[in-house]
């Protein structure tokens, strides 16, 4: 009998959703201390497995590099554990005596989690930790190009959670790489929330499922280097960001924007640090490689290093080249460098004034990336304030590598691998998604006491008339 892959995938999705629901009923009865212990257990086990999982991910997907994927795995375990350690998520979260009000944390239930191929192992740890910390069960849907490493990551997380006290089925992962299985999981009656990280199509499917969903839009963040910036530090930040895991973090910079008077200074410093500014012919060759005729990003270039990209495009670059840069002035569907490029490639915009820079940043983000991330390098607080009040993003980063600052590694933002883009970016949240996004708040409120005495309204003219009559009688 011929194996029906889609049918098997749907059956598996239904089974795992039912098992997760049963497990979640038990998680919902656990104390904060018990849930904390589960989150800690996951973090410790995953951190130990970070190198092995990083090697598996690079070998299977071909994206990024092992060293930075180890860093991502440890970020998703150690850094997230540190951030959630003292966070209250269940039981009474807050009492407001003056309002006679309690706020109680309530888990949302079973979560369906979509895992991207760019972060196929770290996303599993991060999402499992924030889900179980909040008393939820979670079922993962892996990307077909990363199923082996994602399954291994989910196995490590599930076993660690169970050792720490979680019921079996609290963490699960689809094993059959079929769209039918993912669709069945999202539609399952037991699933209460979808946590989607992936391409635009997958995120759209999550929001179209009829279930509450937290999804993220495309990143396409510009980086403005203001004339008050330390240019060497600014370029070092951008270099660190664009080369981190070969540019696969959606918060990483996608363009550098400067005023005309800064162009040569930025270019010279960039060349010194390993940025290669392509000529028009080279930029044209690379543009054909970056995107398919349909306008979709070519998956073959995702997470590849600068020298490999140049080689694939058909030109050579100096030894030590780390980032490829193309001159650009416009944004739109016919301008490939104005879009998100998940590799170490940048657009370079040179504008006539600060006002023109602001307008260009808005234009780029309107085309793609609204609500996501913007970076500015400046010491002038006035320009930071001006741009901070205008740029339509959820993460406005100052003097930091955008890839690392956006996820909360080098800033005070919550450490997260799912970055909400807000309503302007088509997302239900503008947060770096945390356990607090995965609970509901039950409010216990007492009635207020009402004053029983009635107020008497006295007419001044009437008082005067009565007084006069009384005086007349007394006089008679």
- Judge contact between 34 and 209, C-beta under 8 A: no
List of residues 6+ apart from 184 with CB closer than 8 A: 9, 10, 13, 14
Backbone angles phi, psi at 95, to 5 degrees: -120, 135
Whether residue 1 has pLDDT greater than 50? no
Q: Average pLDDT, stretch 431-454?
A: 86
Kindly give the pairing relationship between strand 101-107 and strand 439-445.
Answer: antiparallel
Question: How far, in Å, CA of 291 to CA of 284, rounded?
Answer: 11
Question: How far, in Å, CA of 22 to CA of 100, rounded?
Answer: 35
pLDDT digits (tens, 9 = 90+) for 295-341: 889 999 999 999 999 999 999 999 999 999 999 999 999 999 999 99
Report residue 76 CA to chain centroid gap.
13
Catalytic member of 125, 250, 361, 421? 250
Question: How far, in Å, CA of 290 to CA of 347, rounded?
Answer: 13
This prediction's pTM: 0.91
Question: How far, in Å, CA of 2 to CA of 5, rounded?
Answer: 9
Q: Domains (ranges, CATH) in the chain?
A: 5-216+432-441 (3.40.605.10), 221-407 (3.40.309.10)
Give the pLDDT score at 203.
78
User: How is the chain split among helix, strand and coil, in percent rounded to 5?
Assistant: 50, 20, 35
What percentage of the chain has pLDDT greater than the value 90? Answer: 87
What 8-state DSSP symbol labels residue 302?
Answer: T
Report residue 151 CA to chain centroid gap.
22
Clarify whether 250 is annotated catalytic: yes
């Amino acid at each position: 009998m011929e194996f029906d892959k889609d049918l098997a995938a749907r059956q598996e999705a239904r089974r795992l959703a039912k098992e997760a629901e049963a497990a979640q009923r038990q998680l919902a009865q656990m104390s904060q201390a018990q849930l904390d212990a589960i989150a800690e257990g996951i973090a410790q086990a995953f951190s130990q497995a970070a190198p092995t999982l990083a090697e598996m991910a690079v070998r299977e997907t071909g994206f990024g590099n092992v060293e930075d994927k180890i860093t991502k795995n440890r970020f998703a375990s150690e850094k997230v554990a540190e951030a959630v350690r003292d966070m209250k998520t269940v039981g009474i979260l807050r009492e407001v005596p003056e309002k006679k009000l309690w706020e109680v944390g309530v888990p949302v239930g079973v979560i369906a989690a979509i895992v991207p191929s760019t972060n196929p192992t770290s996303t599993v740890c991060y999402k499992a930790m924030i889900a179980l910390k909040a008393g939820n069960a979670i079922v993962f849907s892996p990307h077909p190009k990363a199923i082996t490493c994602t399954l291994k990551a989910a196995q490590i997380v599930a076993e660690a959670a169970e050792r720490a006290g979680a019921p079996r089925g609290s963490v699960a992962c689809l094993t059959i790489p079929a769209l039918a299985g993912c669709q069945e999981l999202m539609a399952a009656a037991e699933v209460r929330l979808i946590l989607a990280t992936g391409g635009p199509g997958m995120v759209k499917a999550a929001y179209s499922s009829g279930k509450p969903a937290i999804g993220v839009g495309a990143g396409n963040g510009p980086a403005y280097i203001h004339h008050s910036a330390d240019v060497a530090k600014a370029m070092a930040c951008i270099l660190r960001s664009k080369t981190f895991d070969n540019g696969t973090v959606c918060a990483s910079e996608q363009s550098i924007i400067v005023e005309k008077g800064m162009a040569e200074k930025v270019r010279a410093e960039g060349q010194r640090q390993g940025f290669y500014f392509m000529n028009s012919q080279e930029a044209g060759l690379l543009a054909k490689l970056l995107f398919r005729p349909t306008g979709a990003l070519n998956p073959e270039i995702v997470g590849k290093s600068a020298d490999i990209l140049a080689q694939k495009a058909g030109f050579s670059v100096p030894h030590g080249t780390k980032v490829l840069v193309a001159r650009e002035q416009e944004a739109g569907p016919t301008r490939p460098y104005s879009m998100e490029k998940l590799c170490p490639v940048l657009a370079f915009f040179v504008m006539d004034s600060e006002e023109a820079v602001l307008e260009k940043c808005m234009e780029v983000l309107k085309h793609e990336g609204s609500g996501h991330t913007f970076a500015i390098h400046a010491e002038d607080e006035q320009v930071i304030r001006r741009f901070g009040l205008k740029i339509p993003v959820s993460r406005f980063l100052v003097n930091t590598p955008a890839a690392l600052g956006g996820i909360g590694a080098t800033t005070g933002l919550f450490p997260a691998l799912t970055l909400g883009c807000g309503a302007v970016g088509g997302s239900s949240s503008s947060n770096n998604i945390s356990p607090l996004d995965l609970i509901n708040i039950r409010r216990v409120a007492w009635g207020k006491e009402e004053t029983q005495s009635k107020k008497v309204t006295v007419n001044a003219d009437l008082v005067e008339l009565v007084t006069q009559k009384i005086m007349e009688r007394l006089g008679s």
